[in-house]
Amino acid sequence: MPVRRGHVAPQNTFLGVIIRKFEGQNKKFIIANARVQNCAIIYCNDGFCEMTGFSRPDVMQKPCTCDFLHGQSTSRHAVAQVAQALLGSEERKVEITYHRKDGSNFLCNTHIIPVKNEEGVVMMFILNFDYILEEGSSDSLEKLNHASPSKSSLLGSTSDSNLNKYSTINKIPLITLNFSEVNNEKKCPSPPSSEKTIIAPKVKDRTHNVTDKVTQVLSLGADVLPEYKLQTPRIDKWTILHYSPFKAVWDWLILLLVIYTAIFTPYSAAFLLNDIEERIRRECGYSCSPLNVVDLMVDIMFIVDILINFRTTYVNANEEVVSHPAKIAIHYFKGWFLIDMVAAIPFDLLIFGSGSDETTTLIGLLKTARLLRLVRVARKLDRYSEYGAAVLMLLMCIFALIAHWLACIWYAIGNVEKPYLEHKIGWLDNLGVSIGKKYNYSDPNSGPSIKDKYVTALYFTFSSLTSVGFGNVSPNTNSEKIFSICVMLIGSLMYASIFGNVSAIIQRLYSGTARYHLQMLRVKEFIRFHQIPNPLRQRLEEYFQHAWTYTNGIDMNMVLKGFPECLQADICLHLNKSLLQGCKAFRGATKGCLRALAMRFKTTHAPPGDTLVHCGDVLTALYFVSRGSIEILKDDIVMAILGKNDIFGEMIHIYPKPGKSCADVRALSYCDLHTIQREEILEVLDMYPEFADHFFNNLELTFDLRDENSKVIKLSLHYSPTPLASPYCSNCWGI
């Protein structure tokens, strides 16, 4: 699976912050668009609806002066103060009496708060409403208790999970957040009780600063006051994105170091720690042992990797990118920190100054703890499981690595038992006899070399894993026999889990070729069953081969059906981008019109010699050439040759019904054409009538295929005062 990037696109976090802070305090508020006439309401929370008795559809798009709440008890002076605050884009608190939907009134404190974008322009207003309890008014107390239901504890939660579940932000149409400076004349009219129409002043007038009181109301620090804009996730300067190129290169470097560790750590622990020459090199220091220098560099890189992991973002359960350093540290401590820490301990430094065999053996065992990092690497390699060749190579490497580990264990068993055997029957003694390098226990340097011992041990483990061995290297002691039994069991399991899937992996490698041959076989069976003659048969086979080469057997329509319609429209808009941008007829269309048109365009691929339209065919579509050359033939006479950006068909807006083609249209080369059906384009133009005139005035056909004779016949059929004879009329056949 690919790396989870999380929600990294720029987001408008303004409403999320407002809802989390206000609803957490059980506030009643509305948000209004400050850029339109009457400052229409674009959002109201549940607390406001419960306080006023109006539903959200009743409140949306109403003026933020809340004229629908005005009544007999509403003071004209208070209404004027609210209107003045909105006109001046200033913060103000106004005590005002409103009326609920049921007619009852309540006194509240209305707090008008202007909110700016990053350019200092006031984009919206927040109106917060707080009850004011009048002395001796039991009705207000009763209404206040009614407006504070038991779910306030739920709204008090500001966690992201609760916000995603219960926040009403999801009910806001996205279009209400896209403000522009155009004048919208189709606004909801103000109620009759409105004292004044609020006209949005010029942009330069809306630059009033947000005061500290606004910050206090929002319960935020002055440095984190939200702005109404698209905000990318705030990343600390030293924080590393988990999908950044640097992190990808670093992960590959750590992967190579882990592979090095997986190979050389068991080898060093088994073969080198007890070797005399290796001990002399260690006593000399790092300058005499290049392998120790490399191990030290690996330890340093692992320590650096730990520091990098403390500053690397991650994706949480809500698919959100977490970049806060404290949260990253806690997540890392709960995850891979312990394994990475153990793997980064420089055990080689502990070897110096300790010459006892027990200490050397202990250090060798501790060094194998580095292999725990392979678990983390295995999880990262899972993303490549969809590639058959990568899986096959990975399985072979795993098999060789396990054989290498078992060879190290096989040598360690023989080396530990060798001094304690009364009869020298171990496999190391037999190896020394067979190659003429017998062990002389008075001479520590006698016996086979390290190369001989490692190659023989690796040969034994490979032969035991792949078969039952050949007997030239055989276990003799009980420990060696028990280990050999375990190796055979591991080999059988590896056969079942690895080599049993090789055939499936290879089949997946050639799945594309298999699908091609299967589809080609179906085409040939179709040709044979219907006895299609040779020229048409050849055209079928050539078209299939060309289409497969061009699309690789992928049916775009089937792929698109798996996505939601909004994403389908975006994909189709991208696929037809060159046509919609290059053709003059589409340049005046709105984005919604272009998306509707793109959804209805179909792409056609034609090989050379293929006839796209025959003479006499009904012209049911418009054709736009995007690649290749096309010739138009009439009675085998070339009437025109069309190329890229040419259009042919008929003028669909002139005739109520489709006509017939007056010529043949044939491909001269491999061609790509965008086609759209007559009914579908007329349907789109009906939905966007303001674009229809522009389209028809700018649509220029390179060649009009409509047959004028068929048009005259169709008109005579439509307007003939006398009915034409029917072929089933007996008088017409002279009967």
> What's the rounded Cα separation, in Å, for the pair 351 and 280?
12
The mean pLDDT of 289-315, rounded to a whole number, is 84
Percent of residues, the chain, with pLDDT higher than 70: 72
| 94: pLDDT strictly greater than 70 | yes
pTM: 0.53
The mean pLDDT of 499-516, rounded to a whole number, is 74
The average confidence (pLDDT) of the chain is: 75
User: For the chain, how far is it from start to end, CA to CA, in angstroms?
Assistant: 78
Say which DSSP state 270 is in: I
Residue with tokens 């109106």: 127
| 95: pLDDT strictly greater than 90 | yes
Between 104 and 134, residue with greater pLDDT:
104
Q: Which of 378, 373, 371 is nearest to 264 (CA)?
A: 371
Strand partners, 127: 30, 112
Q: Which of 353, 209, 200 is nearest to 285 (CA)?
A: 353
Report pLDDT for 668.
Answer: 86
Residue 159 CA neighbour count, 13 Å, CB half = 8
Report pLDDT for 52.
Answer: 92
Chain center to CA of 238? 25
Q: How far is CA 284 from CA 187, 273, 298, 353, 355, in A?
A: 88, 15, 20, 11, 13
Report pLDDT for 715.
Answer: 36
Confidence of residue 236 (pLDDT cuts 50, 70, 90): confident
Q: Which two tokens stand for residue 15?
A: 């409403």
Confidence of residue 555 (pLDDT cuts 50, 70, 90): confident
The mean pLDDT of 190-201, rounded to a whole number, is 42
Q: Which two tokens stand for residue 115?
A: 């909110």
| 163: pLDDT strictly greater than 50 | no
Report pLDDT for 140.
Answer: 45
Kindly report, residue by residue over 370-379, the tens digit of the pLDDT. Answer: 777 777 776 6
Between 719 and 495, residue with greater pLDDT:
495
Please check whether residue 408 is in contact with residue 416, taking contact to mean a CB–CB distance below 8 angstroms: no
Report pLDDT for 62.
Answer: 85
Report pLDDT for 356.
Answer: 56
Q: Which two tokens stand for residue 597?
A: 């048109």
Of the ranges 71-85, 187-201, 479-493, 533-547, which one carries the lowest mean pLDDT score? Answer: 187-201
Report pLDDT for 183.
Answer: 38
Amino acid at 445: N
Q: Which two tokens stand for residue 33?
A: 């668009």
Kindly report the three-state secondary structure assignment for every residue of 591-648.
Answer: HHHHHHHHHHCEEEEECCCCEEECCCCECCEEEEEEECCEEEEECCEEEEEECCCCEE
Confidence of residue 368 (pLDDT cuts 50, 70, 90): confident
Residues 6+ apart with CB under 8 A from 244: none
| 730: pLDDT strictly greater than 50 | no
| 232: pLDDT strictly greater than 70 | no
| 13: pLDDT strictly greater than 80 | no
> What's the rounded Cα separation, in Å, for the pair 581 and 695?
13
Kindly report, residue by residue over 321-337, the tens digit of the pLDDT. Answer: 888 888 999 999 988 88
Confidence of residue 360 (pLDDT cuts 50, 70, 90): low
Report pLDDT for 434.
Answer: 87
Please check whether residue 51 is in contact with residue 83, taking contact to mean a CB–CB distance below 8 angstroms: no
Q: Which of 172, 164, 174, 81 is nearest to 127 (CA)?
A: 81
Count of CB atoms situated within 10 Å of the CB of 258 = 21
| 164: pLDDT strictly greater than 50 | no
Q: How far is CA 453 from CA 290, 408, 632, in A?
A: 22, 10, 81
The mean pLDDT of 438-465, rounded to a whole number, is 86
> What's the rounded Cα separation, in Å, for the pair 715 and 724?
13
Residue with tokens 């990975």: 394
Kindly report, residue by residue over 470-483, the tens digit of the pLDDT. Answer: 778 888 889 999 99
Please check whether residue 557 is in contact with residue 583, taking contact to mean a CB–CB distance below 8 angstroms: no
Q: Which two tokens stand for residue 428?
A: 């190391």
> What's the rounded Cα separation, in Å, for the pair 266 and 282?
18
